[in-house]
């Protein structure tokens, strides 16, 4: 009978568990992450106080598609469900008086390609892509060079 030859659900479940048992979480190699080598299930230390670079003007981009770096401090700027501090200067209506760069038009396009009247949810958390600057040594060596033709 066919029914007898098929492994039971319980059997398959056990096999999956056994297969997973030998696997440990991936190690980060030689790079010490922001958690300072504390394992994922360990208690994290409170972050060190960072000395950010003083406010300046638009910084050079390493390649054309790069999200521009934030050339000013953003320490107390909140971005949450109710407020987005960045937009109080970078929105199109405020940019003139604050002299901030207008937020890119591409940020109003949602994931279906429709143009919206406000920032797309994909772009709401600005600091996912735009990062403030600190004089820090690179964590890994990098020999990246931009394409000459579209620098
Ligand atoms: C108080 C006003 C103000 C706030 C709030 C503010 N910015 Fe700015 N930002 C500026 C100004 C002014 C400039 C332009 C500096 C210059 O080029 O002289 C600027 C420049 C930038 C640039 C560089 C643009 C380019 O073309 O290189 C980025 C990126 C940026 N800000 C991101 C942010 C993010 C992200 C936040 C929120 C966490 C934020 N800003 C909040 C005023 C502000
Ligand atoms: C998913 C990544 C991402 C997020 C999130 C994001 N940006 Fe950008 N941003 C970019 C990239 C990439 C560019 C450069 C290409 C472009 O203009 O689309 C850019 C360009 C800009 C510029 C420069 C525009 C110019 O004319 O040179 C400003 C200002 C800016 N973003 C502000 C913001 C603010 C404010 C937020 C949050 C409300 C935000 N961005 C969220 C990726 C992002």
Q: What is the pLDDT, as a whole number, of residue 138?
A: 85
d(CA 107, CA 22): 44
Which is the closest atom of ligand 1 to the Cα of 127? 35
CB 125 within 8 A of CB 72: no
Torsion of CA 67, 69, 73, 77, to 10 degrees: 0
Tens of pLDDT, residue by residue over 17-38, are 656 555 444 554 677 777 777 8
Q: What is the pLDDT, as a whole number, of residue 134?
A: 92
Q: 């492994």: which residue's tokens? A: 7
DSSP state of 106: G
Say how many Å lie between the CA of residue 49 and the centre of ligand 2: 26
Q: What is the pLDDT, as a whole number, of residue 16?
A: 63
Say how many Å lie between the CA of residue 38 and the centre of ligand 2: 32
CATH topology of domain 51-134: Flavocytochrome C3; Chain A, domain 2 (1.10.1130)
Question: 24: which 2 tokens?
Answer: 């440990």
Which is the closest atom of ligand 1 to the Cα of 61? 27
Contacts of 12 (CB under 8 A, 6+ apart): none
d(CA 78, CA 84): 6
Q: What is the pLDDT, as a whole number, of residue 6?
A: 62
Q: What is the pLDDT, as a whole number, of residue 18?
A: 54
Tens of pLDDT, residue by residue over 40-74, are 888 877 777 888 999 999 999 999 899 999 999 99
Say how many Å lie between the CA of residue 150 and the centre of ligand 1: 24
- Structural domain spans, the chain: 51-134
Query: What predicted TM-score, i.e. pTM, was given to this entire model?
Result: 0.81
Which pLDDT band holds residue 5 (cuts at 50, 70, 90)? low
Is 15 close to ligand 2, i.e. is its CB under 6 Å away? no
């Amino acid at each position: 009978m066919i029914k007898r030859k098929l492994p039971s659900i319980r059997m398959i479940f056990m096999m999956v568990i056994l297969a997973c048992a030998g696997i440990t979480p991936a190690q980060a190699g030689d790079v010490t992450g922001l958690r300072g080598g504390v394992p994922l299930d360990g208690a994290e230390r409170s972050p060190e106080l960072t000395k950010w670079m003083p406010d300046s003007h638009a910084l050079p981009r390493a390649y054309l598609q790069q999200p521009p770096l934030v050339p000013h401090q953003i320490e107390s700027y909140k971005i949450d469900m109710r407020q987005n501090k960045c937009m109080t200067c970078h929105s199109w209506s405020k940019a003139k008086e604050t002299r901030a760069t207008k937020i890119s038009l591409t940020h109003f396009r949602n994931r279906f390609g429709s143009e919206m009247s406000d920032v797309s949810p994909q772009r709401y958390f600005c600091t996912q892509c735009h990062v403030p600057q600190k004089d820090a040594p690179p964590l890994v060596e990098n020999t990246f060079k931009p394409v000459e033709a579209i620098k």
